[in-house]
Amino acid sequence: MESEQFSQHISRRFNEELEHLRTEVLRMGGLVESHLDTAIEAITAGDSEMGLKVAREDYKINEMEVSIDEECSRVLATRAPAAADLRLIVTVIKTITDLERIGDESEKIGYLASRLASDTQPHDHYSELRTIGEHVQSMVHDALDAFSRVDPADALLVVEEDKLVDEEYDMIVRQCISMMMEDPRTIRRFMDVSWTARALERIGDHAKNIAEYVIYLVHGRDVRHLKLAEIKEEIAG
């Protein structure tokens, strides 16, 4: 961690405001994780109502994003933060945007789950979707954990894992195309499976973004468009 600290201010109130922002991000992250977990379970369990429940409750995540964003705007206007404190607020604003988008993708998965539940469940209960889903769940959890502990090393592990999710997504799409070519009657089902995999892959991208914001928070460098080797050099340096 750099010498700049987030908790050493003359104003105790400012300290409390910054810590409250961090706490609210993690609270929003917890809700997002819960929605994602439920959406994935709805797919593999073939539970239409569970999927629709996730879709109906997306508004809660949206409301939290608006609330945290408004609090960030107020702190920016009243405290005029600089250096590490400003980076923290920028990180919070960017992180809640990605969390809200994870919520949107989970909502989409919820609707797809309700449609897939109307079809006959395959014998493997969409095991490929569960596999990529578990990896994405891990990425989101680990990204939030890295944010909580302000740990760029753990954030880097999340960035690295995104490649595996991309590979799993590509494999699922190839399988879906193959199945649709073999039996045109399955086109609608496997289009839904493909869209679900795409939503999960996008969630992985958002988790990666959050991890990269943690690196920015600590090192003051935007690494979103750097290659993995370059990010490692940035952290090591």
Q: How far is CA 124 from CA 46, 118, 189, in A?
A: 12, 16, 15
Query: Does residue 54 belong to any structural domain of this protein?
Result: yes
**pTM of the predicted protein model:** 0.91
Residue 65 CA to residue 94 CA, distance in Å, equals 10
pLDDT digits (tens, 9 = 90+) for 132-177: 999 999 999 999 999 999 999 999 999 999 999 999 999 999 999 9
Query: Does residue 218 belong to any structural domain of this protein?
Result: yes
pLDDT in the model for residue 221: 84
pLDDT digits (tens, 9 = 90+) for 69-97: 999 999 999 998 888 899 999 999 999 99
Split into its structural domains, the chain has a count of 1
Question: Which token pair is 6?
Answer: 């987030």
Contact 79, 14 (CB under 8 A): yes
Contact 91, 216 (CB under 8 A): yes
Query: Does residue 3 belong to any structural domain of this protein?
Result: no
Question: Which token pair is 80?
Answer: 């005029």
Structural domain containing residue 226: 12-236
Whether the pLDDT of residue 237 is over 70: the answer is: no
Query: Does residue 95 belong to any structural domain of this protein?
Result: yes
Query: Does residue 96 belong to any structural domain of this protein?
Result: yes
CATH number at residue 167: 1.20.58.220
What values do phi and psi take at 199, rounded to 5? Answer: -60, -40
Contact 140, 202 (CB under 8 A): no
